[in-house]
Amino acid sequence: MKTYLVGGAVRDELLGLPVKDRDWVVTGATPDEMLQQGFKQVGADFPVFLHPDTREEYALARTERKQGRGYHGFTVYSAPDVTLEEDLRRRDLTINAMAKTTEGELVDPFGGREDVQARSLRHVSEAFAEDPLRILRTARFAARLQPLGFTVAEPTMALMRQMVKNGEVEHLVPERVWQEIQRALHENEPGTFFEVLRDCGALATIVPELDRDDALSVALSALRCVHNSEAETSPRFAALMSSLTPDEARNRAAQLKAPNDCQDLARLTTSLLPQIRAMTSYRAESLLEVLDEADVWRRADRFAELLQTLNCALPDTEQKKLGWLESAQHAATGVQAKDLMAQGYRGKDLGRAIRNERLRRISEL
């Protein structure tokens, strides 16, 4: 029975990056032997255990064999006779297929250290083609490591293109696609994720509305801008959708099964952008229409995220309009229904009185 540190911890250590998670592979052991040593089994599909003290994950060495299409359809074999090299061979990229012994010796059967030095994202073996999710994972690693100079190796890009051509990407379920997109939106250079998908042809399947040079360049410019403001997921996704029509954005967000807050902000951004672009001067009526549609009176936090997104989706020449909206919001938010009720307004008359008072305050700015 031997234990090895594997994957991202080894890679990040070689890169001089902080090691966040440490995963281990165990060879020559059975599940019963792990349980006898106090480990707690947590893996349902294959034997993964939590260390009794550190709570770090220890997985028994395993191999995988493809049985169907998509990222499902794998049969897993885990037994004491599976070697470390066999376990590492099933991994996606060479930089993730390295291990370290408990004595600190590097085990690198597939040239991962050389690819770290060359800043190259290269697949371990042709088994990469068995799992289309690896296309998205490779794009996400490119987004994470782009600031360090990493790019996708040409043989790997060629293999990804062939996988797309073979229709493998079409078998990915929306939940897994969204999971990778959400992670990618928060990587160091999120735009790279979508550029890699474009270059291998997968973007035409995953977000076909962005598979146009004009739409993608506008979307990535907005996304990179929002990323620099350390935004939450919903403004990032809304920025990505900002070059689409409202119908396109709404349909794509729904098909990706994005969370409701992401779908909501993407819909609001794409529907309000044309209205804001159409403003040629400070008009209280137009500003109030935008504020009403954004429901700023009840959703002030969402409106702040909307402004954050619009700030990156609008050109510099139109930024002053966001100032108009912010000023209008501050002026009109102070209208209190109770004050107008004290003046005798009720029912529909109260609603009209609130709107008129908001208009008056915005007009006086």
Annotated ligand binding at 211? The verdict is no
Are residue 106 and residue 16 in the same domain, yes or no? yes
Looking at the structure, tell me whether residues 93 and 125 fall in a common domain: no
Beta bridge partners of 49: 41, 58
Contacts of 358 (CB under 8 A, 6+ apart): 288, 291, 331, 332, 335
Same domain, 55 and 160: no
Residue for token digits 């004595």?
A: 103
Q: The domain containing residue 263 runs over which residues?
A: 211-333
Whole-number Cα distances in Å, 305 to 26, 98, 191: 46, 41, 20
pLDDT in single tens digits along all 365 residues of the chain: 999 999 999 999 999 999 988 999 999 999 999 999 999 999 766 789 999 999 999 999 999 876 665 555 567 888 899 999 999 999 999 999 999 999 999 999 999 999 999 999 999 999 999 999 999 999 999 999 999 999 999 999 999 999 999 999 999 999 999 999 999 999 999 999 999 999 999 999 999 999 987 999 999 999 999 999 989 999 999 999 999 999 999 999 999 999 999 999 999 999 999 999 999 899 999 999 999 999 999 999 999 999 999 999 999 999 999 999 999 999 998 888 888 888 888 888 898 998 999 999 999 98
Torsion of CA 109, 156, 198, 227, to 10 degrees: 20
pLDDT of residue 71: 53
Give dist(CA 332, CA 307) in Å, integer.
17
Final residue of a structural domain among 95, 111, 127: 111
Q: What is the pLDDT of residue 91?
A: 94
Query: Is 295 assigned to a binding site?
Result: no
What's the domain count of the chain?
A: 4
Are 79 and 168 in a shared domain?
A: no
Residues 46 and 65 in one domain: yes
Q: What is the Cα–Cα distance from 276 to 282, expressed in whole angstroms? A: 11
Same domain, 127 and 85: no
139: tokens are 């794009």
Q: Would you say 164 and 205 are in contact if contact means Cβ atoms under 8 Å apart?
A: yes
pTM, to two decimals: 0.90
Tokens representing 347 are 């029912």
> How much is the pLDDT for 339?
84
State whether 227 and 147 are in the same domain. no
Q: Is 91 annotated as a binding residue?
A: yes
Rounded Cα gap, residues 74 and 123, in angstroms: 19
Return all residues near 12 (Cβ < 8 A) that are at least 6 apart. 18, 19, 20
What is the predicted pLDDT for the residue at 73? 57
Q: Do the annotations mark residue 8 as ligand-binding?
A: yes
Please list, in sequence order, all residues whose beta carbon lies within 8 angstroms of the beta carbon of residue 217, skipping any fewer than 6 positions away. Answer: none
Q: How far is it, in rounded angstroms, from Cα 195 to Cα 217? A: 10
Of 111, 135, 167, which residue constitutes the final position of a domain? 111
Q: What number of CA atoms fall less than 13 Å from residue 139's CA on the CB side?
A: 30
- Among candidates 234, 156, 154, 228, which has minimal Cα distance to 191? 228
My answer on whether 362 and 311 are in the same domain is: no
pLDDT (0 to 100) of residue 360: 93
| Sign of the torsion angle spanned by Cα atoms 174, 179, 185, 191 | negative
Burial of 36 (0-12, 13-18, 19+ CB in 10 A): exposed
Are residues 235 and 185 located together in one domain of the fold?
no
Question: Residues 226, 240: contact at Cβ < 8 Å?
Answer: no
Determine contact, residues 117/145, Cβ cutoff 8 Å.
no
pLDDT attached to residue 72: 56
Query: Distance between CA atoms of 71 and 13, rounded to whole angstroms?
Result: 29
CATH number at residue 187: 1.10.110.30
Strand partners, 27: 2
pLDDT the model gives residue 75: 75
Query: Is 11 labelled a binding residue?
Result: yes
Residue 80's CB: how many other CB atoms inside 10 A? 13
pLDDT at 45: 66
140 marked ligand binding residue? yes
| Residue at a domain's end among 206, 228, 248 | 206
User: Per the annotation, does 301 bind a ligand?
Assistant: no
For residues 309 and 227, state if they share a domain: yes
Looking at the structure, tell me whether residues 191 and 249 fall in a common domain: no
What was the pLDDT predicted at 345?
84
- Residue 3's beta-bridge partner residues? 26
